[in-house]
Amino acid sequence: MTILVTERLRLRPATIDDVNAFHAVLSNVEATRYWSTPPHRTLEQSRAWVEAMIATPADEGVEFVVELEGRAVGKAGFFRLPEIGFILHPSAWGRGLAREALVALIDHVLATRDLPTVIADVDPRNTRSLRLLEGLGFRRTGYRARTYRLDDGWADSVDLALDRRTWTSRADP
């Protein structure tokens, strides 16, 4: 069992006891505004989501619960390598916690997997995520229209990529 410890966070594998904490995140309208699925309406949806996270095959993904002061506040990982995914409860936004989690996560995945690049797929309106990823060295590689059908219409995707060399040679660890 891999646990990543940063200055303020603990990244650990999910357990079924995380269902309530993830329901708080995944039912939150603000947190899921640019997520690939609408906000969860039932605890059962969040239970199925956590079960899928726990069952992620090790050769396909690597997923971590992000814990702050002993409480699960979100997740960071790769449901399907090499695509990164992350979400935090809005109460944890604006403190550099997502950045702190992603630095540890990317360090870990590049140290343990033979990946030339890590990729991301972000809604162009999701400025917080774009700022976070571009601040970490991700570069835009493409744009695809109408990739996700949401409650209020179609969303587009900005594709981004971070290559191993950019990460290992960055000046700002």
Ligand X SMILES: CC(C)(COP(=O)(O)OP(=O)(O)OC[C@H]1O[C@@H](n2cnc3c(N)ncnc32)[C@H](O)[C@@H]1OP(=O)(O)O)[C@@H](O)C(=O)NCCC(=O)NCCS
Interface ranges with ligand X (CB under 6 A): 31, 34-35, 86-88, 93-99, 120, 122, 126, 128-129, 132
d(CA 13, CA 20): 16
CB of 44 to ligand X, least distance (A): 21
Beta-bridge partner residues of 162: 118
Shortest distance in whole angstroms from residue 93 CB to ligand X: 4
d(CA 20, CA 16): 9
Alpha helix (H) ranges present in 28-77?
A: 43-54
Q: Is 42 exposed, middle or buried (0-12, 13-18, 19+ CB in 10 A)?
A: exposed
114 or 133, CB closer to ligand X?
Answer: 133
User: Which residue number, 98 or 104, has a Cβ lying nearer to ligand X?
Assistant: 98
Q: Looking at beta carbons only, is 95 or 113 nearer to ligand X?
A: 95
Contacts of 144 (CB under 8 A, 6+ apart): 156, 157, 159
Q: Which residue is nearest to ligand X, using beta carbons?
A: 96
Cα torsion through 30, 33, 35, 38, rounded to 10:
100
Q: Considering the complex, what minimum distance in angstroms separates the CB of residue 11 from ligand X?
A: 13
Distance between CA atoms of 90 and 29, rounded to whole angstroms?
10
Pick between residue 29 and residue 114 the one whose CB is nearest to ligand X. 29
Quick one: 22 or 34, whose CB is closer to ligand X? 34
Nearest to 20 by CA among 80, 71, 61, 90: 71
Pick between residue 86 and residue 167 the one whose CB is nearest to ligand X.
Answer: 86
